[in-house]
Structure 1
Amino acid sequence: MTHRIFPHLRSVRREPGDQALWLLAALHVLAFLTFLVVLGLAVPARAAGDTCDGANILTEMKARDPSAYAGLVAEADKVENGRGLFWKIDRPGLAPSWLLGTMHVTDPRVLAMPKGAVEARDSAKVIVVESDEILDEKQAMAKMLVKPELTMMTDGATIQTFLSPQDAAKLEASLKKRGIPLAAVSRMQPWMLSSFIALPACELARKAKGASFLDKQIAEQAVAAGKPVKGLETMQEQLSAMASIPTDFHIKSLMEMIAMGDRMDDVTATMTELYLSGEIGMTMPMLKAVAPDGTEGEGYAEFEERIVSRRNHTMAERALPMLNEGGAFIAVGALHLVGKDGLVSLLRQQGFAVTRVD
């Protein structure tokens, strides 16, 4: 039986309904979220303000159930390379390269970057991000139109086709809180709608006002400094990975996110504070602890393989030529760094010495 910590929190053992939170993690890992900037040109979020609320779930847990919190810490401690955002990459005879874990948000605290990262970026010969297409959203949108099925339902269906009237009403109400009318986005694929639900209204408001998220800021500053910017993936590849997962999985994830309601702001706040503290290995245990009850999370293993592990290997392979030249500054989502299939481990397997800086 699941141990209740307090409403909306439960034990770290994986239970039914986890897919929504795994999707949330992927959305924060994927540069796919940057595509919201493009969407903002057509569907501006009419949020009341850009000040974020949200409580740290782990602070609550530590006070209410210290043993459950200790369990999360123990699980996080098992994650390979689970601590640290900023890493130095060395190989004899080469100028050092650098690896920064990012969070694809506009929070000013995140934009500040860890100590030493600004100097490393400024000294680098080349800046590498998940997708260099973030530098030109209009061009990225044009490329997406080549394969509209990656973002839109092109067979005449709408999101309501997959939902009961009650669930459609819940989706409409949740989008309305973010200033997004359902009619304007009803033909979007469910993973696109999930990205709106995942982000708090304050983040949507900042994006709608033109604020850059960390990855984009790094790329923009590189261009201003006359440095080349390279991408490890294309947005089309990222969206194709999402599209390869069965629609039923995405629909369940969307509804589970909606069921969490305002608790989503707490999840985002907690993820942000974990990021700022460099405790990246705690992210997934925390998400599992707050996952709502639901139906069995079918397709999870396939989801993890396609959205996380497979992409990590692709990134490591494509980064190799630039690392072999030395002087590269690589900035990718922080959850791509951790675990046995994370970039830190994969680059070590390629013969590089990868050491934590922050």
Structure 2
Amino acid sequence: MTAQRILSLRTRWPRLSMEQVLQFIVGALPLLMLTVLLATLVSISTAKATDAAACKGNNLLESMAKENPALLAEIQAEADAIPNGRGIFWKIEKDGVKPSWLLGTMHVTDPRVLKMPEGARLAAADANVVVIESDEILDENKAGSALLMHPELTMFTDGTSIKDHLDAASLTKLDEGLKQRGLSLAVVAKMKPWILASFVALPACELSRKAGGASFLDMQIAKDAVAAGKPVAGLETLVEQLEAMADLPIDFHFKALVETITLGDKMEDVMETMTELYLSGDIGMTMPLLKTVAPSTTEGDESAYAAFESRIISDRNLVMAKGSTQHLEKGNAFIAVGALHLPGEQGLVELLRRQGYRLSRVE
């Protein structure tokens, strides 16, 4: 799924844990990069990939409704207070131009997500241009070359490895989590923590589907556009996305990685719950729910969250809003970005409204 001063983390959720923020980060990661890396690092047999393709997570909200309905009501109330917290498909209007469309995506290969709302499918098919976060996902060679030009964004280039930054217990947990996904710590030890986090935060079934060549929603939308002879435009580059990650304090990433490893199999439940929230359009429920999943953060993490909010959320939303304008002014554009970029006072929906557009949720 997907990316907001979207949800004002410090003011609305001042006690978020590292893992909770990581869930947002994972949704924002350039997943083509994971596909490229998996192609070279993961050795998964056809049988194993088939076995792993069946995700086994449970919706945490269902058990919460039975075991702690008061907590569920609290989460719902918090979600209800978030502007534009419901809906993944929006109509964008402005006098004098044909309406455009905004779809919040989830960056996964789950067939339920790939199906898309019927109205969104028709709008994409009819659009003059399709706009996604990065059009580089259409060219793996170009994307791979760009990443190779900036090895410091994905790898330790100072002679250290992940083994020099984590204690023995954390390394053991990381090793076990990677093995479950067909990876060896020895092979990926030079990778930066936000790359490793991508492997352990996503369920094995999701990584297996990607390794098998399955497209995530954004890529499917882009491929369909190309097949139909439509132009595809991007709002960011993969390098820009990684630079945003690299700008955050390294300790922040290590803490997030360790907490995610600690969750273990519960990550499948988290992903399933996030997926079902996405499918129901309850995007505003995502972060309030995640607050209940992992341990609370400490006061010392406040500066890290300030950096996260500024660099990963606010900055990117502003870039997306500004980059969308040239297409919206021409009309009949179909814009698809991570769903978590949409809600909140500084989310994409509100930012576009401030630019003079009328946005209405499409049921």
Same fold (TM over 0.5): yes
3-state SS in 2 of match to 1:53: coil
Q: Does 1:335 align with 2:340?
A: yes
Matches of 2:290 and 2:32, distance apart in 1: 22
Identity %: 56
- What is the CA deviation profile of residues 139-183 of structure 1, one whole-angstrom value per residue up to 9, with x for unaligned ones? 101001111100111111100110112211111111011111111
1:225 aligns with 2:228: yes
Partner of 2:20: 21
Structure 1 unmatched ranges of 5 or more: 1-11
- What is residue 180 of structure 1 aligned with on the other side? 183
- Residues 64-79 of structure 1: pairs in structure 2 closer than 5 A: 64-79=67-82
Alpha-carbon separation, structure 1, partners of 2:18 and 2:100 = 35
Shift of the alpha carbon at 1:293?
A: 4.8
Q: CA deviation at 1:31?
A: 4.3
Q: In the alignment, what sits opposite 1:3?
A: none
Provide the rounded CA distance (Å) in 2 between the counterparts of 1:293 and 1:99: 34
1:120 alignment partner in structure 2: 123
Do the aligned partners of 1:316 and 1:347 also contact (CA within 8 Å) in 2? yes
Q: Which runs of 4+ in 1 moved over 6 A?
A: none
| Equivalent AA in structure 1 for residue 240 of structure 2 | E
Residues 7-46 of structure 1: pairs in structure 2 closer than 5 A: 15=15, 18-28=17-27, 30-44=28-42, 46=44
Supply the distance in 2 between the matched residues of 1:306 and 1:300 (Cα, whole angstroms): 10
Distance of 2:291 and 2:310 partners within structure 1: 18
Equivalent residues of 1:31, 1:130 under 8 A apart = no
Task: Give the match for residue 168 of structure 2.
Answer: 165
- Residue of 271, 289, 298 corresponding to 1:268: 271
1:202 to 202, 205, 209: 205
Alignment match of 2:358 (pick from 347, 353, 356): 353
Measured in 1, the distance between the counterparts of 2:43 and 2:317 equals: 32
Deviations 1:218-250 (CA, angstroms, capped at 9, x unpaired): 000100000000000000000000000011000
| Structure 2 CA distance for aligned equivalents of residues 130 and 352 of structure 1 | 20
Distance 1:246 1:353 in 2: 38
* TM-score between the two structures when normalised by the length of structure 2: 0.92
1:27-47 CA deviation, whole Å, 9 max, x = no partner?
11x142332111121012635
Whole-angstrom distance in 2 between the partners of 1:333 and 1:51: 24
Which residue is equivalent to 1:130? Answer: 133
Distance change >3 Å, CA 181–CA 64, structure 1 → 2: same
Offset of 1:305 from its aligned partner?
1.6
Match in the other structure for 1:54: 57
Which deviates more, 333-342 or 295-304?
Answer: 295-304
Contact 1:79-1:339 within 8 A present in 2 as well:
yes
Q: Which moved more, 1:17-26 or 1:102-111?
A: 17-26
Going from structure 1 to structure 2, the CA distance change for 1:294 and 1:79 (only over 3 Å counts) comes to closer
What is the letter of the counterpart of residue 124 of structure 1? A
Greater mean deviation of Cα atoms: 323-332 or 165-174:
165-174
- For the residue of structure 2 that corresponds to 1:341, the secondary structure is coil
Structure 2 gaps, min length 5: 1-11
Matched, 1:279 2:282: yes
Cα RMSD (Å) of the superposition? 1.4
Could you tell me how far apart the structure 2 residues matched to 1:45 and 1:257 are? 23
Match for residue 349 of structure 2? 344
Matched length: 345
| Structure 1 residues 22-69: Cα deviation after superposition (integer angstroms, max 9, x where no partner) | 1111211x1423321111210126354211011111111111011110
Which of residues 315, 318, 332 in structure 2 aligns to 1:313? Answer: 318
Is residue 313–residue 346 contact of structure 1 (8 Å, CA) maintained in 2? Answer: yes
Q: Does the alignment pair 1:190 with 2:211?
A: no
Question: Contact 1:31–1:131 (CA<8 Å) still a contact in 2?
Answer: no
